Structure 1
Amino acid sequence: MAYKHGVYVGEVATSITAPIEGTAGLQVILGTAPVHLAKDPYACSNKPILCYSFAEAAEQVGYLDDFQKYTLCQSVDASFRVFNIAPIILINVLDPTKHKKTLAARALSVLKKQAVLQEDGVLLDQLVVKSEDGQTTLAKDTDYVATFDDDGFVTITLITSSEISAIQVSGVAIDPAAVEAVDLIGGIQISTGEETGMEVIRQIYPKLGMTAGLLLAPGWSQDANVAAALQAKCEAINGVFSCECFLDIPCGTDGAKTYTDVKEAKESLGASSNHAFALWPKGAVGSKHYYLSALAAACTAYTDANNEDVPATSPSNKNIRITATILEDGTAVDLDQEQANTINSFGVATALNMNGFKLWGNNTAAYPSTTDPKDRWLACRRFFSWWGNTFILTYFQKVDSPANPRLIESIVDSENIRGNSFVARGFCATARIEFIEAENPRTDILGGKIQFHMYLAPYTPAEVLKTLLEFDVNALETALTGGE
């Protein structure tokens, strides 16, 4: 060891920053994943999978940058790499026992004891490796080892022999092209009771003890049937909970290719729910193309997490961290503020480049059909849904207690204390609850029903800031004459 005398420093690799956690905007994302890369390809279909990190998501459902084939990956990337927000819940509908294709036998050259099968989606347990003439089947982990490279292709490394110059391979691969909109919508198998697609949303609270904040299906929600199902699923989840969904207005051949076409495309999609937030067009981060719902949902969850996990602040005018807005074919869309505002007038949000791209738009898809502030403004709508969900979760323990004055007082006092704390922190103008006798007739009380009346006033977004500019002649005169 060298002789040292003095003061020294050293450096270590930067630790990965832990993602910010928040559940008010808990994203529930439906789509397809490269399950062949998952730890167990057969255990991650049509189940709610909770992920707190990119590594966890990659292990549970697999990950590739091919967002066109594997739509869940864009939300995984947007949440954990672009915004660094957690957790998310993934519902993969690609079933390797159903959405698959057979790979015909083909010859592969072996170089330095390795051969690469350049085929996407290969299921390793279905891979068959034989000698070049096809007469001898090689044994896995004895004659060869199969692993995936960074592109998702299979690398076959021979163990025992260095003289083999070619091998023959066949097998089965998953087929994301076989997944259809009906798989996203899902259903219930009558014979087994098995739930698929959006029906799996019901399992989130019983299994994970969490409630959905945002529903999305990037890459699929531009389909009218999927959009309709998503909007319907936002209400009465488990019979009681509610949330919002993010929808993509199609921006391809059959969609809106210019901002003036967005209104018609929105109407064709059927985006009209007060629980829906419609977006157009797509977003790009370098060479990666995302549906805007994936980025906007991650941005919304990030905004919540940075506001004490309270959905009272609009994600509009927040940095959406993209480098371009694009159409389905990758054509750039350069919107100015007037054009973006026109899109907003249709009840659709977009992204606007104002020294960096911002999410731009506050209206739910119900606008302009409704101007009720709790249904028009996304932030207000989400605040109402979230408050209702937290009320249910907080006071479920009171159900079946004696319906006496003490029960009523405890709920009123507790909720008003809680509401006052939110008012004091500037999240809303009021949040108070009352027990009104006129709303509780004797017959209802005898029937075990007690009704409270909650008054909520979340702040509406300041969409327009205006000032008047006037030439001050007196000030100019004073400056020139010295006030004489």
Structure 2
Amino acid sequence: MAYKHGIYTSEQATSLVSMTQTDSGLIVAVGTAPVHLASAPVEANTPVLCYTYKEAVAALGYSDDWDKYTLCEMIKTHFALFNMAPIVLINVLDKTKNAHKTTQAKSFDITDGVVTVTDPMLIDTLEVKASSEAATPYVLDTDYTAAYNEDGEAVITPIAGGGISTEATALYLSYTLLNPQGVANTDIVGGINITTGKAEGLELIDEVYPRFGIVPGIIVAPGWSHDTAVSAVMKAKEHNICGHFNAISICDIPTDTVKTYTQAGAWKNNNNFADKDCLLCWPMLTLGGQKYHMSGQLASLMNYTDSQHDDIPYYSPSNKSLQADGACLEDGTEIFLNSSQAAYLNGQGIVTALNFIGGWKAWGNRTTVYPSNTDTKDNFVNNRRMFNWVGATLVTSFWAKIDEPTNKRLIETIVDSANIWLNGLTAKGALLGGRVEFREDENTTTDLMDGKLYFHVYMTPPAPARDIEFVQEYDPDYISTLFA
């Protein structure tokens, strides 16, 4: 060490850690998209993080045919109806899979100078000839142009002076088209492709945080989550994401077979829907003549509600306004529940829609674990989300401390930093109280020798005020005011 004579300064790391603000409800939606309409298409089974409607449409395309292209419903719900961002979209409609595409070759009439194809054509596979017997095809951008119109239809236009005769009345087209009806629940479920070794479908949820650095908070699959095979995997994937995080999943009860509120309760019980991190919805919603799955609207409503409270999920989405002008079944039959019927569904652990005071609102605070599990930590939606969110924040905030020396300074830094953060949440009203302790009885000598530390987190999110009652009584003592 060099010889010193005088006054010197040095610095050391701050003993308090700034807590990482994790997204409270990043939605991950899995489904199908009209990729033939995308201007900057991404490969199937690739998570896409979108902050704008324009980004989503460029990557995945857009169509109002939500029965075939289920992610388009989520795109419109999240960006257009609730004006929220971001969202992660995973399209499983794969134009390279034989089951997801088919070929077509037939003659089309030229009408008003163009050929219009309503099939979901992949333009890059198009071949145009004068007839089926013609040996040589026409040349793109020399003899004709091909593009999609605003309705998603492919329009083939002969070029003046090109090889297509002005007297021609028809063209023979050969092309590949998407077959969204070929997508099965197994595609949504996904897994690991044994050929490529890559994850697909819901299995890609584990890639969201490594790709984008944002923790998944809500898993949805509108148009698919009523399928029990899909919902079972959604419930499995919501736990232990990347080995560290928990999310919630939101599923729908099928409204083509479940047509009354009493049947909805029976369906839930018959299909083993008791899960602390899962929400179940019935029926569907309508707005401007379009039908919406309630799971998608509820997810975006949670995002909107969180955004009004510093992105902390301590407010329940119940009694918050949906973007709806009605409720319905799959066949369009209108559904009007009174408050007692809606309360029955809530008592079965089902979220519904109620038009009582202030328009159509989400109604219900319970996860599907209710009523079989009465632990308030597990059966209230906001409590469940708060535990998931606090857990994710602790993981991301203190990850940098992994592999540091297990000494007093490390322990005090973690305890002090976490407690200051929890005190701030308490002052805000997001918690009734919270603290972190490093307890001697929970940290054995052998565990500490092996580098294992256990910190005990105590926290109490406020329960939603689900039942407010006023007791009225006639008080005869006020008769005396007549003589005052």
TM-score (norm 1): 0.92
C-alpha separation between the residues in 2 aligned to 1:191 and 1:166? 43
Structure 1 residue 115, shift from structure 2 partner: 1.7
Specify the code of the residue in structure 2 equivalent to 1:459.
P
Task: Quote the residue 1:325 is aligned against.
Answer: 327
Task: Quote the residue 1:389 is aligned against.
Answer: 392
Contact 2:22 / 2:215 at 8 angstroms: preserved in 1? no
CA displacement, residues 404-431 of structure 1 (integer Å, 9 cap, x when unaligned): 0000000001001111111111111112
Equivalent residue of 2:129, what SS? strand
CA displacement, residues 371-419 of structure 1 (integer Å, 9 cap, x when unaligned): 1011010100000001001100000000000100000000001001111
Matches within 5 A, 1:65-464: 65-98=64-97, 99-119=99-119, 121-132=120-131, 134-135=133-134, 136-161=136-161, 162-253=166-257, 256-354=258-356, 355-464=358-467
C-alpha separation between the residues in 2 aligned to 1:477 and 1:306? 49
Equivalent residue of 1:284, what SS? strand
Structure 1 residue 242, shift from structure 2 partner: 0.7
C-alpha separation between the residues in 2 aligned to 1:87 and 1:233? 20
Contact 2:31 / 2:224 at 8 angstroms: preserved in 1? yes
Specify the code of the residue in structure 2 equivalent to 1:430.
G
Task: Quote the residue 1:468 is aligned against.
Answer: 471
Structure 1 residue 270, shift from structure 2 partner: 2.5
C-alpha separation between the residues in 2 aligned to 1:22 and 1:442? 33
C-alpha separation between the residues in 2 aligned to 1:169 and 1:466? 70
Contact 2:22 / 2:214 at 8 angstroms: preserved in 1? no
Percentage identity across paired residues of the two chains: 41
Structure 1 residue 112, shift from structure 2 partner: 4.0
Structure 2 CA distance for partners of 1:133 and 1:407, relative to 1, 3 Å:
closer
Structure 2 CA distance for partners of 1:201 and 1:248, relative to 1, 3 Å:
same
Contact 1:34 / 1:62 at 8 angstroms: preserved in 2? yes
Task: Quote the residue 1:11 is aligned against.
Answer: none
C-alpha separation between the residues in 2 aligned to 1:268 and 1:126? 47
C-alpha separation between the residues in 1 aligned to 2:387 and 2:101? 46
Deviates more, 1:160-169 or 1:363-372: 160-169
Specify the code of the residue in structure 2 equivalent to 1:199.
E
C-alpha separation between the residues in 2 aligned to 1:183 and 1:257? 28
C-alpha separation between the residues in 1 aligned to 2:340 and 2:123? 53
Contact 1:44 / 1:61 at 8 angstroms: preserved in 2? no
CA displacement, residues 276-330 of structure 1 (integer Å, 9 cap, x when unaligned): 0111111111221111101111101111111101111100000011011111111
Structure 1 residue 103, shift from structure 2 partner: 3.9
Structure 1 residue 132, shift from structure 2 partner: 4.3
Contact 2:32 / 2:69 at 8 angstroms: preserved in 1? yes
Q: Which runs of 5+ in 1 are unaligned?
A: 1-20
Specify the code of the residue in structure 2 equivalent to 1:419.
L
Structure 1 residue 40, shift from structure 2 partner: 4.5
Contact 2:284 / 2:291 at 8 angstroms: preserved in 1? yes
Task: Quote the residue 1:54 is aligned against.
Answer: 53
Structure 1 residue 44, shift from structure 2 partner: 3.0
Structure 1 residue 191, shift from structure 2 partner: 4.3
C-alpha separation between the residues in 1 aligned to 2:392 and 2:74? 24
Task: Quote the residue 2:12 is aligned against.
Answer: none
Specify the code of the residue in structure 1 equivalent to 2:118.
Q
Contact 1:142 / 1:160 at 8 angstroms: preserved in 2? no
Structure 1 residue 192, shift from structure 2 partner: 2.9
Structure 1 residue 144, shift from structure 2 partner: 1.2
Deviates more, 1:306-315 or 1:192-201: 192-201
C-alpha separation between the residues in 1 aligned to 2:33 and 2:52? 16
C-alpha separation between the residues in 1 aligned to 2:154 and 2:389? 45
Matches within 5 A, 1:36-55: 36-41=36-41, 43-55=42-54
Specify the code of the residue in structure 2 equivalent to 1:78.
T
Equivalent residue of 2:243, what SS? coil
C-alpha separation between the residues in 1 aligned to 2:195 and 2:128? 38
Equivalent residue of 1:104, what SS? strand
Q: Which runs of 5+ in 2 are unaligned?
A: 1-20
Structure 1 residue 59, shift from structure 2 partner: 0.5
TM-score (norm 2): 0.92
C-alpha separation between the residues in 1 aligned to 2:58 and 2:46? 15
Structure 2 CA distance for partners of 1:76 and 1:22, relative to 1, 3 Å:
farther
Deviates more, 1:55-64 or 1:107-116: 107-116
CA displacement, residues 105-149 of structure 1 (integer Å, 9 cap, x when unaligned): 222222443221122x21111112111465141111211111112
Equivalent residue of 2:198, what SS? coil
C-alpha separation between the residues in 2 aligned to 1:271 and 1:203? 26
C-alpha separation between the residues in 1 aligned to 2:183 and 2:399? 39
C-alpha separation between the residues in 2 aligned to 1:22 and 1:124? 41
Supply the RMSD in Å over aligned alpha carbons. 1.6
